[in-house]
Homo-oligomer: A and B are copies of this chain.
C-alpha cells in the first residue's frame, strides 16, 4: 500500500521540493517542501499541503489566508526527487506578501528588483 509514496526519493530530512504551477496561466507560483504526510494529504484532499520547515509542522496552504491551492494534477520528476503540482490558486494570490506569486524578484543589472505588484496588503490577509 502507498507504493507511490515509497517511490519518492525523500531527502535526509524526509522532504522533497514541491513546485506549484497555476493551471490557467502557467505561472510558477511557489516552491515549498512536502514530507510524506503532506503529499499524501495533497493527493487525498486535492488541496496543497506542505511541510513548514520554519514552524516544523504540516501546513495546509491557505489555512490562515484562505488562499487555498486546489490541485488538479500531481507530477514527479525523472529522479523521483521533485514534485510539481498543477493548481487553481484561490484569490489569485499565492505569496504571503500579497502578490500573485512568490517569484516576484527579477535579476536586473546585478540587483533583485520586485517586478510584480502587491495585490492585497498582507495585514488585511492575515489579521482577521
Q: Which residues of A contact B (CB under 8 A)?
A: 2-4, 7, 17, 19, 21, 26, 28, 30-31, 43, 73-80, 82, 84, 95-97, 99, 102-107, 110-112
Contact = CB atoms under 8 A, between A and B. Distances in A.
Contact of A4 (B2, B7, B112): B112
Main secondary structure of the interface of A (DSSP, over half): mixed
A111 B3 contact: yes
Contacts of A19: 19, 28, 31
A4 B76 contact: no
Listed residue (A43, A77, A102) with the most chain B CB atoms within 10 angstroms of its CB? A77
Given A17-B17, A84-B28, A73 B106 contact: yes
B106 A77 contact: no
